[in-house]
Amino acid sequence: MFKVVTHTVLATAILAGSTLVSQAANPKVGGAAMYETKNIVENAANSKDHTTLVAAVKAAGLVETLQGKGPFTVFAPTNAAFEKLPKGTVETLLKPENKAKLTKILTCHVVAADAMSGAIAKMIKDDGGEHDVKTVGGCVLKAKMSGKSISLTDETGDVAKVTIADVKQSNGVIHVIDRVMLPKM
């Protein structure tokens, strides 16, 4: 009886432990819980740090796309990242007549793959310290390691750092970044 109980308790503990490991919680973003069962738009809409990004996605007509099956990797600039742009830039981009330019900028933050930071770091290492990341918008971001974090250089030479990595979504992953990535225009 003791052996059976011990094995049952041990098996239950192992199963419970593996369940906890496989369901490791996503980091919070903008003070909000991020759920693997929700898509990119649903989770981003709950982040108080991404209200500008969500408004831009709506203005560009990209909500339906980013709610789609994916997989997508989104390098998601924070409100503070948008504030680093020259004064009036965000307001100008949100105007209907600038939809094409806004769409280009936003799609330069999206990759048509589910790229977790470990995979990106491996690609950087395999490519000798820098990896070209081709975006849906046709931009090429240069990914490098900056200490233990990933940094991205856009086509204008600006550098963004991934501040929160591997936020799993039902249709991909979000990596929060501290700068807006701009294409050559």
Q: Which domains does the chain have, with CATH numbers?
A: 27-177 (2.30.180.10)
Contact 177, 164 (CB under 8 A): no
Residue 72's beta-bridge partner residues? 172
DSSP secondary structure code for residue 86 in this structure: P
Residue 156 pLDDT = 95
How sure is the predictor about 130, in pLDDT bands with cuts at 50, 70 and 90? very high
pLDDT surpasses 70 at 3: no
Average pLDDT over residues 83-105: 95
pLDDT surpasses 70 at 72: yes
Distance set, CA 69 to CA 38, 87, 116 (Å): 11, 35, 17
Question: How far is the C-alpha of 7 from the C-alpha of 103, rounded, in Å?
Answer: 58
Q: Which pTM was predicted?
A: 0.84
Average pLDDT over residues 33-50: 93
User: Amino acid identity, residue 164?
Assistant: I
In degrees and rounded to multiples of 5, residue 39 shows phi and psi of -85, 175
